[in-house]
Chains A and B, each alone.
Chain A
Amino acid sequence: MGTLRAIGAWIDRRLQLAAPIREMALHRVPRSTASWFYVFGSVTFVLFLLQVVTGICLAFAYVPSASEAWSSLQALNHEVPAGWFLRAMHFWGSTFMVGVLLVHVVQVFLFGAFKFPRELTWVFGVVLLLLTLGMAFTGQVLRFDQDAYWGIGIGASIMGRVPLVGAQLVHLLLGGPIIAGDTLSHFFALHVFIVPGLLLAFAGLHIWMVLKLGINEWPMPGRLVTRERYLEQYEELTRKDGVPFVPDAFQRDLTAAGVAVLAVIVCAAWLGPSGPSGPPDPTIVQAVPKPDFFFLWLYAALSLLPPNLETPLLLTAPVIVLLLLFLLPFLSGFGEKSWRRRPVSVLAVLLVAVSFAALTRLGETMPWSPHMEAWSANPIPARALAARSPLERQGALVLQNKQCRSCHALGGTGGQRGPALDDVATRLTHDQLIRQVLQGGGNMPAYAKNLSPPEVTALVAFLETLRREGHSPARDPAQRELRLDSAEPSSPPHR
Chain B
Amino acid sequence: MDDDAARPPSRRGALFRLGLALNGVAAALILTPVVRYFIAPGRRKATRSDHAWVTLGPIAQFPEGETRLASFKNPFRRPWDGATADIPCWVRRIAKEKFQVFAINCAHLGCPVRWFPQSELFLCPCHGGAYYADGSLAAGPPPRGLFEYRYRTDNGALAILAGRLPTLAESA
Contact = CB atoms under 8 A, between A and B. Distances in A.
A303 to B, nearest CB: 4
Given A66-B81, A67-B83, A167 B167 contact: yes
Interface in B135-172: 138-143, 163-165, 167-170
A154 B108 CA distance: 9
Contact of A368 (B83, B127, B165, B170): B127
B121 interface: yes
Band of interface residues on A? 35 or more
Given A180-B78, A417-B128, A171 B109 contact: no
Interface in B73-89: 74, 76-88
Interface string A57-78: 0000000011110100000000
B130 interface: yes
Interface string A396-426: 0000011110110000000101000000000
B114 interface: yes
B130 A369 contact: no
Given A65-B82, A289-B125, A161 B168 contact: yes
Given A150-B110, A440-B138, A402 B42 contact: no
Interface of A: 65-68, 70, 149-150, 153-154, 156-162, 166-172, 174-183, 279-283, 285-289, 299, 302-303, 305, 307, 310-311, 368-370, 372, 375, 401-404, 406-407, 415, 417, 440, 443-447, 449-450
A302 B108 CA distance: 9
A401 B125 contact: no
A157 B108 CA distance: 7
B75 to A, nearest CB: 10
B86 A445 contact: no
A460 to B, nearest CB: 17
B39 interface: yes
B44 to A, nearest CB: 7
A449 B81 CA distance: 42
B165 A153 contact: yes
A281 B112 contact: no
Contact of B163 (A172, A177, A404, A450): A177
